[in-house]
Amino acid sequence: MRTAVVWAALRAVLAERAAATGRDDLDIVDAGGGTGGFAVPLAELGHTVTVVDPSPDSLAALERRAKEKGVGVRALQGDAADLGDLLDRDSVDLVLCHSVLEYVEDPISALTAVAGVLRAGGAVSVLAANPVASAIHRALAGQFDEARAVLSDPRGSWGDRDPTPRRYTAEALAQLLAVTGFTVGEVHGVRVFADLVPSRLVDGEPGAAEALVALEQAAAAHPVLRDIATQLHVLGHRG
């Protein structure tokens, strides 16, 4: 439910890439892919998937998950900025960069490395935390000073105890992709309502989960609702 909007965008870009290349087996890299929440389902669709992640424990869990599903996923230890050292240049059709740019030391270096491994016509899928949503969530938790801090901090952080070092507005993501050589696609909001609706209204109610997914998909591109989503998703295309 929380990733339905992202999966819809991924299915569309994969179909476009398959049509352009004439290949159903695409080369995909999940930078910071952890235990394989996206990587394993993509491998189940028949794609060749590599996960690059700095955590050996996450990569071990990824390999167990892939084995349970009967698919092969290559696991490489490293950071997004290391992609150029770990993979051949111009060798990948799609790179996932989900919940990564918030934590890397140098986001420009990370996306530059992504661009280097992508083939012409390839794409990067970027998913990042949104500071506006963080302000809303802190306010709903009664942390009004922290909510105000998010809105005034250039990095979108609410303080020293904030586990997320950096957040991005839609404009900031678009600018970051543009300066690293990507053509920027449409931005979608992810988890506009899913993190605000109490679970009791969804769990056990027939059809409620499906209705919430449909609502999320309708809100994802809404010019106002998109900008209050917990995360923002954007595709960048390499020319």
Task: Kindly report the CATH number assigned to the domain that includes residue 190.
Answer: 3.40.50.150
Beta 74-77 vs 48-53: how paired, if at all?
parallel
Domain range for residue 102? Answer: 4-129+168-238
Q: How many domains does the chain have?
A: 2
Say if residue 25 is in the same domain as residue 97: yes
Say if residue 36 is in the same domain as residue 86: yes
Say if residue 9 is in the same domain as residue 123: yes
Buried-exposed string 213-222: b where 16+ CB fall within 10 A, e elsewhere? beebeebbee
32 HSE (CA, 13 A, CB side):
19
- Give the mean model confidence (pLDDT) for residues 133-160: 97
Give residue 39's pLDDT: 98
Is the pLDDT at 1 greater than 80? The verdict is no
pTM metric for this prediction: 0.95
Task: List Cβ neighbours of 2 (8 Å cut-off, separation of 6 or more).
Answer: 190, 191, 194, 195
Tell me the percentage of the chain whose pLDDT exceeds 90.
95
Say if residue 28 is in the same domain as residue 103: yes
